[in-house]
Amino acid sequence: MKSNAGTVTAYLDALPPERRDALLRLRALIERAAPAAKASMSLGLPSWDWKGPLFALAAQQRYLELYVADSDLIAARKKTFGNVEVGKASIRFMRIEDLDLPAVEKLLVDAARNRAR
């Protein structure tokens, strides 16, 4: 869901606790995987840019979503992310427990490495 929040922190703070906690966990993985990426609000969503858009998070009405700009990596690993729906550039999930977090973390690290080249 797009927001008028001015910062990533403000966006996350406005969420209900369970949704906020899930996206905070993903935020930590993103920032560990791509420390050079700059966090900002882009198109109403928390986003991380590094040589262009790299990652984004969203709390949609019925699910949470992680966007990754490297769609080839997502396609190659789509069966590894857990009990989720996988789109061309996103992973949609209901609860953080539905995600295979080690697989997601590897995706984030590899996407950041590809961007660093």
Domain ranges for the chain, please list them: 8-116
CA pair distance 41, 76, nearest whole angstrom: 28
How confident is the model at residue 2, as a pLDDT?
74
Q: Would you call 91 helix, strand, or coil by DSSP?
A: strand
Residues with Cβ within 8 Å of residue 12, at least 6 apart in sequence: 20, 23, 24, 27, 46
Average pLDDT, stretch 75-83? 96
How confident is the model at residue 117, as a pLDDT?
85
pLDDT tens profile 24-55:
999 999 999 999 999 999 999 999 999 999 99
Task: Render 10-25 in DSSP notation, one character per residue.
Answer: HHHHTS-HHHHHHHHH
Residues with Cβ within 8 Å of residue 31, at least 6 apart in sequence: 37, 39, 48
CATH architecture of 8-116: Alpha-Beta Complex (3.90)
pTM over 0.75: yes
